[in-house]
Amino acid sequence: MSLIDIEQGRPRDVVLMGRVTLDFNPNEIHRTLDKVKTFSMYLGGSPGNMAVGISRLGKKVGFIGCVSDDRFGDFALNYFRSCGIDTSRMVRAKNGERMGLTFTEIKSPAESSILMYRDRAADLMLTPQDVSEEYIASAKILIVSGTALAASPSREACLLAARYARKHGTRIIFDIDYRPYTWQSREEISIYYSLLAGMSDVIIGSRDEVNLTELLPEDAAEPADCLLADRYIANGSKIVIIKHGKKGSLAYTADHRAYRVSSFKVRLMKSFGGGDAYGSAFVYGLLEGWDVPRALQHATAHAAMVVASHSCSDAMQTAEEIAAFIREHADEKVITEIDWEEAL
């Protein structure tokens, strides 16, 4: 039984907001970026990847965002349309802002890094006037990426969309997705992250990202995961997922249950992209009305499949492919219920 009561009968399953960028992944891997000669171009950006993932899983997806008014913008819109994603609420940057570019480095299966170019990024030019109350009300779930809160006018557009979602019973998922560029201070981060977190039904982020919502003294001890989850749940959140990188993650729920999530054993291609696959498959589970452990297993399997592939967006899997992967790895237990206070 799902913890989140999702409105049925709406024409769209999910609407996402946030950055759509371009990923350039090296064709020559296991070397540093300065030794790479050729790249493959893919659609990128965490919410962009999640939109593709959820659509490939068979759900109806729309996107509210801003892309550049050039060929790269054309690429993003055409790619979304080829995946069946509604782009009717996407706009073009009006003052020459460009798509963010991400060059990835795959030094080894376990060691990757990224080099981002985001000066005058088009995705941060989304305005409140670009957000339709009717469009938000037509969706079951709204997913907001924390990167979209980093600057005006995008941050105001996201907060307005969240207000519309609350008004109409559209469930809100906050994918913290912290990137240091554009933000001016920790205080600024805390203000906008805490505003959105306070309106969200589900919060997903790494331990460091979750900490950014707290304005703790620099010498203060970090609160335990369960205490952070308690604070979010006390404010109305139903599910809080705190990721710990290679160590896995912890999921806390409003019915006072907690789950440790480890990883399926796969041969890694890269160490990025798993989080977007995880998020898309977890949202699919919520839409299907699954309980949290089953949704977490589905999410973890999808993440394993994508980190074993060269791309992120192009590597998103179907529900049938994920189910087959889980059957093949039936002897691996990746979800364990634990005591609420238990550490990772």
pLDDT over 80 at 221, yes or no: no
- Distance (Å, whole) CA 1 – CA 317: 25
Taking residues 296-324, report their average pLDDT.
Answer: 92
- Distance (Å, whole) CA 338 – CA 259: 6
How distant, in Å, are the alpha carbons of 19, 41, 106, 276, 340 from that of 299?
22, 25, 23, 9, 21
- Distance (Å, whole) CA 279 – CA 300: 9
Say if residues 274 and 282 touch (Cβ distance below 8 Å): no
Nearest to 258 by CA among 284, 245, 239: 239
- pLDDT tens-digit map of 52-100: 999 999 999 999 999 999 999 999 999 999 999 999 999 999 999 999 9
Say if residues 64 and 131 touch (Cβ distance below 8 Å): yes
Q: Does residue 7 lie in a domain region?
A: no
What pLDDT sits at residue 213? Answer: 74
Q: Does residue 3 lie in a domain region?
A: no
- Distance (Å, whole) CA 300 – CA 326: 10
Q: Does residue 232 lie in a domain region?
A: yes
pLDDT over 60 at 344, yes or no: no
Q: Tokens for 206, please give them.
A: 């790494």
* Exposure of 95 in the CB half-sphere (CA atoms within 13 A): 7
Give the DSSP H/E element, type plus range, for residue 53: helix 46-56
Q: How many CB atoms lie within 10 A of CB 271?
A: 18
Q: How many domains, the chain?
A: 1
- Distance (Å, whole) CA 162 – CA 131: 10
Domain holding 177, by residue range, is 12-338
Dihedral sign from CA coordinates of 15, 174, 273, 96: positive
CATH number at 97 reads 3.40.1190.20
What pLDDT sits at residue 58? Answer: 97
- Distance (Å, whole) CA 258 – CA 254: 9
- pLDDT tens-digit map of 93-132: 999 999 999 999 988 877 888 899 999 999 999 999 999 9
Q: Does residue 344 lie in a domain region?
A: no
Entry pTM:
0.94
Nearest to 272 by CA among 84, 137, 128, 108: 108
Q: Are strands 171-175 and 202-206 parallel, antiparallel or unpaired?
A: parallel
What pLDDT sits at residue 201? Answer: 97
pLDDT over 80 at 223, yes or no: no
Taking residues 296-320, report their average pLDDT.
Answer: 91
- pLDDT tens-digit map of 312-321: 898 999 999 9
Residues 6+ apart with CB under 8 A from 101: 21, 22, 24, 116, 117, 118
Q: Does residue 307 lie in a domain region?
A: yes
DSSP codes joined into one string, 296-315: HHHHHHHHHHHHTSS-SGGG
Say if residues 161 and 18 touch (Cβ distance below 8 Å): no
Q: Does residue 46 lie in a domain region?
A: yes
What pLDDT sits at residue 265? Answer: 87
What pLDDT sits at residue 109? Answer: 75
Q: Does residue 120 lie in a domain region?
A: yes
- pLDDT tens-digit map of 151-206: 999 999 999 999 999 999 999 999 999 888 788 888 899 999 999 999 999 999 98
Q: Are strands 90-92 and 171-175 parallel, antiparallel or unpaired?
A: unpaired
Q: Are strands 61-67 and 12-17 parallel, antiparallel or unpaired?
A: parallel
Task: Give the 3-state secondary structure of residue 72.
Answer: helix
What pLDDT sits at residue 225? Answer: 87
Q: Does residue 343 lie in a domain region?
A: no
